[in-house]
Structure 1
């Protein structure tokens, strides 16, 4: 089973990817991890990607496509029952190239899970995130606040937040996501592959809907 999981920042892709890879034995592939792995291993693809990143440019679609396909064809876990791609394809050009490269093969996509969350909820999820640098516990000031403001319940350490978890950065990230990714959703919708999951709920009802969609 080959799955793409899509959704805006804060939609829960990481949370549900972890559950999926454990339940279905999928090889979970994050494009961010692929970049880091290729760069740290000083591969030809990694050196090429680093040259763009060091110059402050986005990595071109063609290079992203080659990196993903290189992993799927040469490095996938042989014991996995398929793949779970997280964070790819991000653009219509990537989606079209990926379909062309995998059409008629065992690497073709079977399902697209789209985690749909209203922007106002995403804002609270992201802007309210706090974490403990000592024990790793995660909080949210809107949904799961610590008993004492900005102090970890478990170890008493002061909580921190990511520097890019601010209103201005979030607005840009969501606008970029909508602009680039909606055409990808439309592309796969036309092929009848997209299952839109309302992800503005508790974990278990969302998970139940994901399981139901994958069983179809």
Structure 2
């Protein structure tokens, strides 16, 4: 199973590249923000718990987020793999995700971070704010705060995956297709080596 942690500051083009990766590798996209909204809308036990916490102005604890991710893993056991969008954000979350994926006989293949200079991000997001309607895309102070939070979080998680030989950083400025090609080259190096043909050969050898 091919499992990718895709990181990038707001405005880095992560959403566009996620869609390209989903199309090429037939992956399931897991965004914790989308999962929270979906679980709340469905009225699940995890969703109701998350909503109570959010209504009180509290952060949703890691165990709830991991529970939502586990639900997706359990419902997609035949998937080719997953894109973890913006998660994990802390070492504790990365350790929890490793433990979870191991229970499903898989693991994180690699983490890819798209790097874009802060001034370029501010420029992109202010431009996006003209059409997105999102208040946090229209306030430069909020944009810079979001970038600072991202940089702080990524530094911790990057070190965790670097120790495993799974962290890769790419320049997020350039043609979309060229960046996607670079991402694909990294992913191809981390893809599971066992193919259907290999599996069949191993089965034949056992029978023999």
TM-score strictly above 0.5: yes
Q: Give how far 1:106 is off.
A: 3.3
Give the number of the structure whose residues are more often helix, by fraction.
Answer: 2
Question: In structure 1, what is the equivalent of residue 69 of structure 2?
Answer: 68
Indicate conservation of the 8 Å contact 1:27/1:77, yes or no: no
Indicate conservation of the 8 Å contact 1:92/1:181, yes or no: no
Provide the C-alpha distance between the structure 2 equivalents of 1:171 and 1:33, rounded to a whole number of angstroms: 23
Give secondary structure in 2 for the equivalent of 1:128: helix
Pairing 1:207–2:208 present = no
Q: Give how far 1:100 is off.
A: 2.3
Question: In structure 2, what is the equivalent of residue 17 of structure 1?
Answer: 18
Pairing 1:49–2:50 present = yes
Q: Structure 1 length normalisation: TM-score?
A: 0.81
The one of 162, 171, 177 aligned to 2:150: 177
- Structure 2 gap segments, 5+ residues each: 190-208
1:76-155 mapped onto 2 (5 Å cutoff): 76=76, 78=78, 80-103=79-102, 105-130=104-129
1:150-161 mapped onto 2 (5 Å cutoff): 159=131, 161=133
Q: Give how far 1:104 is off.
A: 7.1
Indicate conservation of the 8 Å contact 2:30/2:82, yes or no: yes
Q: Structure 2 length normalisation: TM-score?
A: 0.84
Larger RCO of the pair (alpha carbons < 8 Å, separation 6+): 2
Instruction: Please give the root-mean-square deviation of Cα atoms over the aligned residues, in Å.
Output: 1.7
